[in-house]
Amino acid sequence: MAPNDRSPVTVIGLGLMGSALARTLVGHGHPTTVWNRTAEKADELVALGATLAATPRDAVLASPTVIVCVTDYPAAYEVLESCGDALSGRRLVNLSTGTPEQAHEASAWASERGAHYLDGAVMATPSGVGGSEAVLFYSGAEEVFAAEREMLNRLGGATSYLGADYGLASVYDSSLLGVEWGLLSGYFHAFSLVGTEGAKASAFLPVAMQFLRSIEAVFHEVARQVDEGKYPSDEETLDIHLNAMEHLIETSRARGIGVTVPEFYKSIIARAVALGHGDDGLPSAFEAVKRPG
Ligand SMILES: NC(=O)c1ccc[n+]([C@@H]2O[C@H](COP(=O)([O-])OP(=O)(O)OC[C@H]3O[C@@H](n4cnc5c(N)ncnc54)[C@H](OP(=O)(O)O)[C@@H]3O)[C@@H](O)[C@H]2O)c1
């Protein structure tokens, strides 16, 4: 596609993330209209070639597709409520972070105003936006994703459409936040433990990453077993893991480091064992995590 074939787009919200999105679109030659509550934040983008709209309504009227990236959904409503009927017939892509329930409410809100709604999540830092590794995903109106696929792909090399359920992107976003903190907490404890032998976190990390890559197939197997709800103990049982976790706690205590993280892991395993999964495989701990209480 030649640069002058780029579709016009509007970006509302020029905080750290909105500015990165707008900068990327301008950089790819999209005629980009921007609006931000604090107008000065548009200066750099205007210098790069973006057009600053005087009002949110003018910004919406400037393009068939409007990307909103503000702090949260209430802030998005605050801006968009002032647009009157301008959203009618337009594609609204919301990249503000929220809950799946808020995404569903926003789809109904947009539909009442005649807009086609796509909810999305950016799983990248502002400096990563536009890069080949940047993960962005979307859910909701497939026609919006299909119509703007080229433009959305320019915001990140790992862009995907998850499905028609408006809440999917948000629920994936929140779930991945949990995955990130699960990994981080494990690393924090491991850094503490190897530190007791004088090993630096940066020396341990490459080994840990190598280990993680080596067990990718295990994660596929865990997901398969979770989907099937059957946890054969072909390799190791939860009882054995409960034992192993006791050792990790003991070792940590003996070295004077915190045991919050391994105690938390132990609580999950012990609960699964109490639910009757002691003789089942490791993925059966999922049953303990899933149940409330
Ligand atoms: N930064 C990241 O690494 C990152 C990564 C993934 C997702 N996100 C998501 O992207 C969204 C924006 O994050 P950010 O990092 O760009 O935040 P930010 O730098 O704090 O910017 C917030 C933006 O929201 C606007 N805003 C807030 N309340 C408003 C209101 N009542 N009316 C109008 N505008 C309002 C701000 O306008 P003013 O400039 O006038 O204050 C600004 O444009 C968030 O939902 C965040 O979770 C961010």
Q: How far is the CA of 76 from the centre of ligand 1 (A)?
A: 10
Average pLDDT over residues 62-75: 98
Q: Which of 215, 274, 208 is nearest to 242 (CA)?
A: 274
Q: Is the pLDDT of residue 4 over 70?
A: no
Q: Is the CB of 102 under 6 A from ligand 1?
A: no
Structure tokens given for 286: 């999922």
Give yes or no for residue 78 CB within 6 A of ligand 1.
yes
**Structural contact between residues 137 and 144, judged by C-beta atoms closer than 8 angstroms:** no
Residue type at 70 in one-letter notation: V
Q: What is the CATH number of domain 172-290?
A: 1.10.1040.10
| 3-165 is classed CATH 3.40.50.300 | no
Question: Over 90: is that where the pLDDT of 34 sits?
Answer: yes
| Over residues 121-125, mean pLDDT | 97
Stretch(es) of the chain classified as CATH 3.40.50.720 = 3-165
Q: What residue ranges of the chain are covered by domains with CATH 1.10.1040.10?
A: 172-290
Size (the chain), residues: 293
Task: State the Cα torsion 158-111-172-264 to the nearest 10°.
Answer: 150
* Chain-centre distance for alpha carbon 269: 27
What is the spatial distance between Cα 115 and Cα 91, in angstroms, rounded to a whole number? 6
pLDDT surpasses 70 at 15: yes
Q: Whose CA is nearest to atom 42 of ligand 1?
A: 15
What backbone torsions phi and psi does residue 247 show, to the nearest 5 degrees?
A: -65, -40
Q: Residue whose CA is closest, atom 24 of ligand 1?
A: 70
Distance CA 44, CA 19 (A): 9
Question: What element of type H or E holds 260?
Answer: helix 260-272
Least reliable range by pLDDT among 2-16, 86-100, 169-183, 252-266: 2-16
Is this structure's pTM higher than 0.85?
yes
**For 122-145, what is the mean pLDDT?**
97
| Mean pLDDT in residue range 104-124 | 98
User: Which residue, 230, 223, 218, is CA-closest to 277?
Assistant: 230
Residue of minimum CA distance from atom 32 in ligand 1: 75
Ligand 1: centre distance to CA 122 (Å): 12
User: What does the pLDDT average to over 87-108?
Assistant: 98
Calculate how far, in angstroms, residue 142's C-alpha sits from the geometric centre of ligand 1. 25
